[in-house]
Amino acid sequence: MIVPKSAGVLRGTRGLATSAAARTSSVTLKALGLDSYNLGVYNGKWGGNGDVVESVNPATGEVLGAVQQASASDLDQTLAHASKAATVWRAVPAPKRGEIVRQMRNALFEKIEPLGRLVALEMGKILAEGVGEVQEYIDIADYAVGLSRMLNGQVVPSERPGHMMLEVWNPLGVVGVISAFNFPVAVYGWNSAVSLVCGNSVVWKGAPSTSLTSVAVTKILAQVLEANGLPGAICALATGGADIGRAIAEDKRVNLVSFTGSTGTGRNVATAVQQRFGKSLLELGGNNAIIVHKDADIDLAVRSTVFAAVGTAGQRCTTTRRLFLHEDIHDEFVARLVKAYGQIKIGNPLEPGVLCGPLHSKQAVAAFEHGISDVAAQGGRVLHGGRVLHNLPGNFVEPTITSIAHDAPVVHREIFAPILHTIKYANIEQAIAWNNEVGQGLSSSLFTTSP
């Protein structure tokens, strides 16, 4: 929710709730150096002159806190600072850059519990996934530290006597990272850890709805940089909406733009970057499938399907959305899958035993409802779920299983919600052809005991 700039520290907004969940969020924010109001721009100093955006707990609808986003002027200044910081950072030997990333890794590890809890509160994924996401950042930092001692070039023989050619890898300069709401820590971590050891400064714009997490992570990294006498703008932050993302994509000072998000927005980002002959790295949507052949281990396939389709409430780019079942095992598999779905505990992601938290936003709930309507309109059936859970306070829906034709338009559309379409096939060639007929990637799996 955006509130006027003049609202100040949550004045004129819904304010902070006083429930037990809100008290939990207050303790979490304090542990990460956050407050009810936070500045969302960092370039060596904290600031922000854009809109104030409230972060809302999708499980309860309660306000967690607010972040003052970047204005166009804030971003311009941040990019200027990041460009200057890049000239300092590239002069630091790669192994010493790795040492700084190692210290960042340790600082993240010290805050893994409260940071993982904040991910659960602000994004909505269950606590184990929130902590696991921070661990992913820690893991890639470990990789990057090792990489910092392996950025080797080649010695190339020359046709001239007494000469040789040396291959030396140079930093790009400034890397812009535009990340999505569903992985508000890990995606930035994957990009920044490797970018940093390669000698680049990084400017980050996370999703506006997970700005508290962006600020919390940046505070952790900034402390490491400051402790080592390095420019804070090496890890700069400019929270904001589409206007800030568009400006990053269009600015020539950003040598590479890494974007994670929808296919449509990614196309716009790629076009903007290409128009200025910049470099882009895109990780976009997916319409992922599992093929279960007639000789598959059914127990393993059922468990894997539940995790792949229901985890993160269907809000992963790699969420399984299509399930192709051989006709010989189709009925048994569907019956067992429906039974497994009936045992999934839905609720507050901080509660023990909960496996499916809320969708991130009201817009996601609307997309879920639209998808269910399209299933019925296009000749499909709902085998399990299909309802919005209005008895719960947040954005909760039932994980859903459908039966529908492989070429129904709704099957070919990525719906960022826990809707799994089951489809019967006759032979493996048919299943693979249907798997490949959609316009998206991102992952595919085949369960068989005779590969």
Question: Looking at the annotation, which residues are catalytic?
Answer: 283, 317
Given a contact cutoff of 8 angstroms between Cβ atoms, the answer to whether 186 and 136 are in contact is yes
- φ, ψ dihedrals at 236, nearest 5°: -90, 160
**What's the gap between Cα 191 and its chain centre?**
11
User: Rounded CA gap, 108 and 221, in Å?
Assistant: 8
Tally of CA atoms within 13 A in the half-sphere of 37 that contains its CB: 14
User: Rounded CA gap, 166 and 173, in Å?
Assistant: 21
Angle between helices 20-31 and 112-122 (to 10 degrees): 130
Angle between helices 186-197 and 211-227 (to 10 degrees): 30
SS3 195: helix
b/e map 205-220, b = 16+ CB within 10 Å: bbbbbbbbbbbbbbbb
The CA R_g of the chain, rounded to the nearest whole Å, is 23
User: Rounded CA gap, 348 and 24, in Å?
Assistant: 12
